[in-house]
A and B are shown apart, each in its own frame.
Chain A
Amino acid sequence: MVTRTIRWLLFCVFVLTVPLPMLGPWGVLAPTARYLLLAVVTAAVMAVEGAAGPVPLILALFAGHALVYLLLSWLAARLCTRLVNRLPAHARTGVVVAACAALLLIALMFDLYITPFGGLPHSNLLGLLS
């Protein structure tokens, strides 16, 4: 597995699984993908119904979180890739795949996320993105 592939793979898994807090009184703990989803939904409402009331502010809040956390996820993926690159070549793929699988499994099996904007208070990855 080449360095670029490792970096992208880690980045995608981090974006999908790592729970991150939302600023403010919301008590949200959700992965970056969730913030992206909420930003897209809000943008869609704004496009269809106009930017009345707090819609632009809400959009900015979600989009801001999404952008910042995308950047952090990218930096984390780069850092992890560098660490992985120190391993012997034949072990890298196994370590990366195992780590990604473990993260995804945990995210699928346990209700890691606090999602008050959704239909359930806590959720796993499937519930989060369904």
Chain B
Amino acid sequence: MKRVVLALLLPALLMPALLLPTPHATASEAPFERSEQRSPCTDYDPLRRAFFGDTHVHTALSFDAWGQGTMAGPGDAYRFARGEALGIQPYSSDGLPSRSIQLGRPLDFAIVTDHSDLLGETRICDDPSQEGHDSLVCRVVRRFPKLGYILVNGHVYSSELPSRYSFCGSGGRVCLRAALGPWQEIQQAAEAHYDRSSACGFTTFVGYEWTGMPGGRNIHRNVIFRNATAQRFPTTYIETPTQEGLWQALDQECLQAGNGCDVLAIPHNSNVSAGSMFTVSSADGEPISAEDAAMRARLETLVEVTQHKGDSECRPGAEDELCAYETLPYPRMADMAHVNSEPGQLPPLMYTREVLAEGLLQQARLGINPFKFGLIGSTDTHLAAPGLVAEDSFIGHAAGTVDSRLQVPAFPDRAEFNPGGLAVLWAEENSRDALFAAMRRREVYGTSGPRMTVRMFAGWDYPDDLCSGDDFVEKGYAGGVPMGGDLPAARGARAPKLALWALRDPAGKQSPSHPLERIQIVKGWLENGRSVEKVYDVAGEPADPDALDLSTCTTRARGSDQLCTVWSDPDFDPDAPAFYYARVLEVPSCRWNSYLCNRAGVDCDDPGSVPRELATCCDTGIARSIRERAWTSPVWYTPAGQR
């Protein structure tokens, strides 16, 4: 009997060790499969480095960005991500941009994810040589851009029965044919700007956004391909109007194609999904099957927890007061015009934390967790400006809500929107295969914009003085799993230990970063068949909320340049499935509207002096300060008997 148990346990105990990087691994022994031809990266780190990027970028190929006057294409977006200046709207009659933007620090990677829906229609309405250019809809879109946006958005993106316009011809033939041009342009730009040299300076991926929003309930997914091999044509909401349909299409046209194609889908903005993004029943009302859950778990390893259109981490009004962060006051995009009343009315499964908890329940029911997500942030820029996340210079992201095409708006975006965040991937090198492997194993985290560096490992035997040595990372990998991983089986009744290390964004002289305030652990677990959550402060301490001077955006809060700790779960129950993720907070700082209103000299004590277009500056319902933050991917604990 002992031999049988040993035979069963040994592979389980050894498996994590086999999958982990070894300190002496070299590029030729990389723990990820190489699927493409490229020069080996000179800079290869077996202990992995943090690569900062943006997985959600729209250019002039997206209907809504084009309608907002964006003229920059995928190539321009990649040049911007690499640090070049980008001219943006409004444009003069000679086609000259009125403004120029530039990143203070280039990104390591970026992914253009234009809407697959209306790719062809946008090209047709823009290009006079295309069949259908003079159709009524195209004329309306060009002559009345905002009216056109509302009509087309309602006809396609937010319709429950999306369809092609009549100018697309029978079966949408004309528009589908026209869409091939921009789809090739997206792939060519990704190839042209991917650094295949040994410098490995910048990585791109081929991608698109599947843009379903039935009834205004957002269920969008960004689709990211591992290498240059992609679908022949991107899946659209019009032809494939369900998320299950999208997964099947990705499975059949990519994963099963036998041509080296590999793909992930990243859901985003569950905060305006009204609970439709992470469903636990299929279209016919039946609970999802283990097969559905497996498909989902394979394709959707990440979730975009924060972006331009709000934060999706946790439910506003929850016990965790820090959930009141960049919250949109409506449960569907369709409700944008009239703000929702009470947070209590929001449907379930709108926020990542409760979806992670639902995953534990589904795991108990099905034996597989369909909601095992790593967390990232991104921008969802519609200016072709990946990584444009600075609060102090926010100019909006032109996501269809402000007439950026017409003029430079005094108040550059809807007050409840924000500059968006970044995706951070822990990888050995800056190549597609290495970054994609990081996304698949969820060794990733998201930030609200700042480039703080965050490590998290979970294991059973970390020494309490792990932070005092210079081998935190080596021991972290050797003694457990990094963020995104599964804790190995419990050894007795001991509690797991989480080793956490966060470094402040080094930033630059022109735009200094804010110090770190604290690290928190968010734990969710099952208790008597119900999900429970708790937030622990594990390093640092809350800053004095009055330390921030909103009139100058300077702070007296000292914070820390780095925080490090080894934390042991005081409430651990070896029989209860659980997840743990870390939230790293900066000290409070000014939100973008405070910088903007201060620069404009708005004096809310003298309402008569406030220009009408800046009246929002004095809206007391709009937050004026924020705590910038990072969210790690969770680690999961599953009791031995439930694995």
Contact = CB atoms under 8 A, between A and B. Distances in A.
Interface residues of B, number: 24
A56 to B, nearest CB: 10
A58 B147 contact: yes
B489 to A, nearest CB: 52
Given A53-B158, A116-B146, A45 B407 contact: no
A121 B147 contact: no
A102 interface: no
B136 A116 contact: no
A44 B159 CA distance: 19
Contact of B147 (A24, A25, A41): A41
A68 B633 CA distance: 56
Interface string A22-57: 001100000000000010011011001110111100
Chain B at the A interface: mostly helix, strand, loop or mixed?
Answer: helix
A116 B151 contact: no
A49 B159 contact: no
B133 interface: no
Contacts of A121: 403, 406-407
A120 B136 CA distance: 20
A104 B145 CA distance: 27
A118 B146 CA distance: 7
A118 B145 CA distance: 6
A54 B155 CA distance: 8
Chain A at the B interface: mostly helix, strand, loop or mixed?
Answer: loop
Given A120-B406, A121-B407, A42 B145 contact: no
Contacts of A38: 144, 147
10 contacts: A25-B337, A48-B137, A53-B153, A53-B158, A53-B159, A54-B158, A116-B146, A118-B144, A119-B144, A121-B403
B407 to A, nearest CB: 5
B99 to A, nearest CB: 16
Given A41-B140, A121-B407, A49 B155 contact: yes
Interface residues of A, number: 21
B195 to A, nearest CB: 40
Contacts of B199: none
A24 B154 CA distance: 18
Contacts of B554: none
A119 B136 contact: no
B165 interface: yes
A45 B151 contact: yes
Contacts of B337: 24-25
A116 B154 contact: no
Contacts of A120: 406
A38 B150 CA distance: 13
B163 interface: yes
A119 B69 CA distance: 10
A113 B136 CA distance: 25
B330 to A, nearest CB: 13
A42 B154 CA distance: 13
A37 B155 CA distance: 21
Interface in A85-130: 116-121
B143 interface: yes
Contacts of B165: 49
Given A119-B143, A119-B145, 5 more contacts: A24-B337, A41-B147, A53-B154, A116-B146, A117-B146
Nearest to A47: B136
A116 B403 contact: yes
Contacts of B403: 116, 121
B137 A45 contact: yes
Interface in B422-462: none
B140 to A, nearest CB: 6
A118 to B, nearest CB: 6
Interface string B54-68: 000000000000000
Interface string B239-266: 0000000000000000000000000000
Nearest to A25: B337
Nearest to B164: A49
A121 B142 CA distance: 14
Contact of A118 (B143, B154, B155): B143
B611 to A, nearest CB: 14
Given A52-B161, A121-B406, A42 B155 contact: no
A55 B165 CA distance: 14
A58 B151 contact: yes
A48 B137 CA distance: 9
3 tightest A-B contacts by CB? A53-B154, A54-B154, A121-B406
A117 B136 CA distance: 16
Nearest to B90: A121
Contacts of A44: 136
Contacts of B154: 52-55, 58
B270 to A, nearest CB: 22
Given A24-B337, A54-B154, A41 B144 contact: yes
B281 interface: no
Interface in A1-29: 24-25
B42 interface: no
Contact of A53 (B143, B155, B166): B155
A42 to B, nearest CB: 7
B339 to A, nearest CB: 11
A48 B150 CA distance: 16
Nearest to A56: B154
Contacts of A117: 144-147
A112 to B, nearest CB: 16
Nearest to B409: A121
A121 B165 CA distance: 28
A49 B147 contact: no
Contacts of B161: 52
Contacts of A58: 147, 150-151, 154
Nearest to B402: A116
B190 to A, nearest CB: 32
Contacts of B143: 118-119
A55 B136 CA distance: 14
Contact of A55 (B144, B146, B151, B406): B151
Interface in B111-168: 136-137, 140, 142-147, 150-151, 153-155, 158-159, 161, 163, 165-166
Interface in B325-373: 337
Interface centre among A49, A118, A119 (most CB of B within 10 A): A49
Contacts of A55: 151, 154-155
B172 to A, nearest CB: 13
Contacts of A118: 143-146
A123 to B, nearest CB: 10
A53 B159 CA distance: 6
